[in-house]
Structure 1
Amino acid sequence: MFKKNLADLKAYQPGPSPEEIRKAYGLRRLVKLDSNENVYGASPEVRKAILNDTLLPELYPDCRDSALRSDLSQRLGVPEDQFLFGLGLDEIIVLISRAFLASGDSMVMAWPTFYEYYCHAQIEGAATRKIPVDASGRHDLKAMLAAIDETTRVVWVCNPNNPTGTYLTHRELADFLDQVPNDVVVVLDEAYIDFVTADDFPRSTELMAAHPNLVVLRTFSKSYGLASFRIGYALSSRRIIDEIDKVRPPFNNPRLSQIAAFAALQDQAFKDTCVRKNREVRDMVSEFLDEKKIPYYPTQANFIFIKTDRPEEVAETCKKNGFLINPFETGIRVTLGKKDDMTVLLRLLGRIFSEAPAEPSI
């Protein structure tokens, strides 16, 4: 009766709402640092644009996302017909999986990385080859290349990687792409690219010109603070975009989402301010962790991965003290919050880790 491919999958469990947690623990305030959201919100121009818009609820939205498409094309120097828009990157991951993966196929990904890559390969009946990150929390590109065979259709590269925050350089990624077979789609997920400050980060639109099998993903959910509007986009060769477009639902981006994204895009000063504040907090957190000798992965994103062999315990202690963070198998991922909040959290982490600091093996 049910699709066999779903047997080992579980539905996404959002857990209690922040308000429910606050009440359950008797907290006056709960700082949400578990979902890599932009703690500074969205540009004030977004609210103005939405309030000034004529809703026209009876009409379908612009199926082509025309205003966004035109603006981004000029900013990025990529032709308009090489864009595809979706309900956040989650939907685009679904569409890529649907377009290129089937039973008998395989895909390659790092581990840990964004879970949705694995989830939708399973739904399509494709095999997943999870390649552990190296000791520095980075993609093991050599091992990922070795895992590619004649059944491989898609390779996922998250850069900066979620949850480790580490990144691949332009040269590393270019060399990797040179060795991937041309008939294998490489998806480069750059959800956190706007927080990057490294000079040697990949110039992905440049790499697209040399590698027609490369798909680049970006989103308005992170640096632009539009997570609730669910809008992201893919860049690739026209051949690949056309193929993915075959499985895209029409009118998939609501009118208000398009308006919000366009308004956010016009206010680069606000985004730059968010990025600057994130960098300042990142440096502050890194200095603290170094001083306390608490192991972590250096990050280029708006979150940091702290290594510990007791992640659930640490996360629970933080929750009881008003901070919601995300535990993983080998550590905790903490969104880089506002400076005042992070100052309090660091004092708490200092006490927690002074009790029994431990660095797990990968």
Structure 2
Amino acid sequence: MHSLHARPALGKAVAGLPPYVAGRRAQNALTAALASNESHYEPLPSVLESVRSTALLMNRYPDTASTELRQRLAEHLAVTADELAVGPGSVGVLQQIITSFCDPGDEVVFAWRSFEAYPILTALAGARPVPVPLLPDENHDLDAMAAAITGHTRVILLCTPNNPTGTPIASRALQAFLTRVPADVLVVIDEAYVEYATGPDPVDSLALYRRHPNVCVLRTFSKAYGLAGLRVGYAVAAPELADGLRRAALPFAVSALAQRAAVASLDAAHEMAERVHGVVAERERLLAALRAQGWQVPDSRANFLWLRTDAALHSELLHAFTTADTLVRSNAGDGIRVSLADAATNDRVLNILGDRTAFG
């Protein structure tokens, strides 16, 4: 006999899953929305025009294989289309990766703090998250990550520049790390912010991929290319692995608008590069100004800055930003991430933070 109070129950992997918390949205034109990592520029004119024309086909299903986009990416990256998998943002491709490689009980190793979706997607696949604390200078502790590898490890996630700290992994350190990883463990180099990654000893992830068959490169059009609202990202992996990622993808997940916009974005790469140059210039200006105010800010190579906080300082800073109608990303227990915007908005951040000695 059925109980009147019985109801379907969520699976264990979902029942205990924390929700992904997106950056808060601006409620009015006066609010500075610096909580999400997105471009604060309007869409590139040529890209916007391509989306407008493609919108006339929204009654048709998109190409589920993203054929044209994969071919254009192949030309852009000097790989083959068979080495590419496309998904709804890099986080969508990451879900395809973890789903494809992990069974219940397997382990996924990543730095912490890093991208918040890492432990969520891992747990959703029934695998076990293995977070490895960052070093005191906010960099990946590659020695500790190598030591965390066990016979159950299936995937290692390396976010460079890291979200939310902005710190990059040095090329020489990453090359040395890869020699310590077993050949049957997939190493995902997550480069959502690679276009902003200026500085010494840069990682050539595609060169590492060509030397190490167990390396997968993950990138997105959401950040520097300004397509966060259309959701398109991609992975470069060995052909047999990329084939598995494509088979694990939700059919028609990348819309025709997103595919067309991504192709048009590749054609407008020089325009995107000009915008990136502006962001990098503002980043260096704010780093210098904040340090002059007494803040210890790591050398970000992304489109945001990171302030490490204890509980008391965290509360003070959030109150100061909220009072000034400025949204920032709170990583409770660790720190605050502030995305970069135009010069006037960035000056607003400097005014809020003022002198370091004004805060506890």
TM-score range relative to shorter protein? over 0.9
Distance in 2 separating the partners of 1:3 and 1:80: 37
Distance in 1 separating the partners of 2:161 and 2:21: 25
One-letter identity of the residue aligned with 2:75: Q
**In terms of mean alpha carbon deviation, does 129-138 or 195-204 score higher?**
195-204
Counterpart of 1:342 in structure 2 is 346
Counterpart of 2:189 in structure 1 is 188
1:29-48 pair list within 5 angstroms: 29-48=30-49
SS of equivalent residue, structure 2 residue 57:
coil
Cα deviation code 1:160-212 (max 9, x no counterpart): 00000001121111111111000001111000000011241110111111111
Counterpart of 1:314 in structure 2 is 317
Distance in 2 separating the partners of 1:72 and 1:12: 29
Distance in 2 separating the partners of 1:232 and 1:149: 30
Distance in 2 separating the partners of 1:336 and 1:168: 21
**TM-score normalised per structure 2:** 0.93
SS of equivalent residue, structure 2 residue 291:
helix
1:136-215 pair list within 5 angstroms: 136-215=137-216
Check 1:16–1:167 CA distance in 2 against 1; reply closer, same or farther (3 A cut). Answer: closer
Pick from 10, 14, 39 the counterpart of residue 2 of structure 1: 10
Contact 2:86 2:246 in 1 (8 A): no
How far off is 1:13 after superposition?
4.3
One-letter identity of the residue aligned with 1:10: P
How far off is 1:242 after superposition?
1.5
One-letter identity of the residue aligned with 1:286: L
Contact 1:315 1:326 in 2 (8 A): no
Counterpart of 1:12 in structure 2 is 20
Contact 1:213 1:240 in 2 (8 A): no
One-letter identity of the residue aligned with 1:9: L
Distance in 2 separating the partners of 1:123 and 1:308: 30
Counterpart of 1:324 in structure 2 is 327
Distance in 2 separating the partners of 1:299 and 1:278: 12
SS of equivalent residue, structure 1 residue 325:
strand
SS of equivalent residue, structure 1 residue 306:
strand
How far off is 1:102 after superposition?
1.8
Check 1:88–1:54 CA distance in 2 against 1; reply closer, same or farther (3 A cut). Answer: closer
SS of equivalent residue, structure 1 residue 297:
coil
SS of equivalent residue, structure 2 residue 56:
coil
Contact 2:162 2:168 in 1 (8 A): yes
One-letter identity of the residue aligned with 1:204: S
How far off is 1:101 after superposition?
1.3
One-letter identity of the residue aligned with 1:303: F
Task: Give 5+ residue unaligned stretches, structure 2.
Answer: 1-8
One-letter identity of the residue aligned with 2:265: A
Cα deviation code 1:292-345 (max 9, x no counterpart): 121111100000101222223312321221211112222210001111111122
Counterpart of 1:25 in structure 2 is none
How far off is 1:112 after superposition?
0.1
**TM-score normalised per structure 1:** 0.92
* Runs of 4+ residues over 3 Å off in structure 1: 12-17
How far off is 1:259 after superposition?
1.0
Distance in 1 separating the partners of 2:33 and 2:305: 14
What is the aligned residue count?
349
Counterpart of 1:219 in structure 2 is 220
1:50 maps onto 2:51 in alignment:
yes
Distance in 1 separating the partners of 2:200 and 2:190: 18
Work out the percentage of aligned pairs sharing the same amino acid.
Answer: 34
Distance in 1 separating the partners of 2:359 and 2:320: 14
Distance in 2 separating the partners of 1:117 and 1:11: 12
Contact 1:61 1:255 in 2 (8 A): yes
Distance in 1 separating the partners of 2:115 and 2:157: 9
How far off is 1:16 after superposition?
6.0
| RMSD over aligned Cα atoms | 1.6
Counterpart of 1:240 in structure 2 is 241
Distance in 1 separating the partners of 2:297 and 2:55: 48
Pick from 327, 333, 337 the counterpart of residue 337 of structure 2: 333
1:107 maps onto 2:108 in alignment:
yes
SS of equivalent residue, structure 1 residue 117:
helix
Contact 2:24 2:36 in 1 (8 A): no
SS of equivalent residue, structure 2 residue 353:
helix
Contact 2:20 2:120 in 1 (8 A): no
SS of equivalent residue, structure 1 residue 2:
coil
